[in-house]
Structure formats: structure tokens, C-alpha cells
Amino acid sequence: MTIEPVEIQHVKLRKRAFGYDPSEVERLLEDVTTSFEQVWLERDALRRQVEELQSMCDQSRTGEREVSQALLFVEQIAEKRRIEARKSAAETLAQARDEAAQILADTKQELQRHRDEINRLETMERALRERYRAFVSSAQRLLDERLEESNSGFVDAADRVPASSD
């Protein structure tokens, strides 16, 4: 049986000739003692529970600090990785640009070599055509001269043939 403090204050003990009724006083003291023991046990249980909760809170705070430190560490690592990635990307991009510029320069150089070769071949072709024309022209003149010489010799021979008396 639990007795609340308010109930203790309102208990009316019967008085007898020499004071309060001893059996009622003893019963009240037993009830108060039982109630006090119960409150004492509940208080101890609550104190242990508070201590456990306090310990859990402390562990939780410690865990939060550890998680916070770990998160900060991870963020620092992530930032370093981002910086390294940007640097690597910039280096790769610069290298790719350099390679592209070299390829472009090589391609332009090769294109110029091809143009020079085409120009050289065209010059050779023109020279060859000129020589061929000169050759054909010379050959034509020779043929014409020989033909003329042949024709003039043929005419001379015809002039030499006696006329017949038919």
C-alpha cells in the first residue's frame, strides 16, 4: 500500500487518555515505512535508469563526436580528391590539347608536303608536255621535210620520163 504525502498530512489519529491509539500509530508507521521503502526502491530504480540514460547520452555524444570527426575527415578527403581530380583533368586536357596541336601541326606539314609534291609533279607534267609538243613539232617538221623531199624527187623523176608516142 502506498501513501502519498498529502494523505499522511490528513491522517487523523484517535486520541486516548494518554495520547494517540498505539495500534493506529503503529499501523500508520508501517504504512509510511512500506510506502517510504517503495518510494526509496522506485527512486533507486529511477536513479539507475537516469544513470543508464546519462551513460547512453554520453556514449551518444561520444558517438556523435566520432561521427562528426569522421564526417569532417571524409569531407577533407573528398575535397582533396576533388582538387586532385580537377588537377588531373586539367593536366589531361592540357596534354590532349598539346597532342591535338601536334597532330594538327603534323597534318598541316604533311598537307604542305603533298601540295609541294603536287606542284612539283604539275611542273614536271608541264615541262614534259612542252618537251612532247616540241618533240611532236620537231617530228612533224622532219616528216614534212622528208615528205617534201620525197615529193620533189618524185616530181623530178616524172619530169625525166620520156613522153610516149601513142
Please tell me the predicted confidence (pLDDT) of residue 4.
72
pLDDT tens-digit series, residues 91-128: 999 999 999 999 999 999 999 999 999 999 999 999 99
pLDDT band for position 10 (cuts 50, 70, 90) = confident
Q: Is 161 contained in some domain?
A: no
Compute the C-alpha angle 20/21/23, nearest 5°.
Answer: 135
Q: What's the mean per-residue pLDDT of the chain?
A: 87
Give residue for cell 486516548: 16
CB-CB contact of 2 with 35 (8 Å): yes
Query: How many domains in the chain?
Result: 1
Q: Is 49 contained in some domain?
A: yes
> Cα torsion for 140, 144, 150, 151, to the nearest 10°?
150
E strands, the chain, where? Answer: 15-16, 19-20
Q: Is 100 contained in some domain?
A: yes
State the Rg of the chain over Cα: 65
Averaged pLDDT for residues 42-50? 92
pLDDT tens-digit series, residues 119-140: 999 999 999 999 999 999 999 9
Task: Judge whether residue 88 has pLDDT over 80.
Answer: yes
Which residues constitute the domain of residue 146?
A: 5-156
Please tell me the predicted confidence (pLDDT) of residue 84.
96
Please tell me the predicted confidence (pLDDT) of residue 124.
96
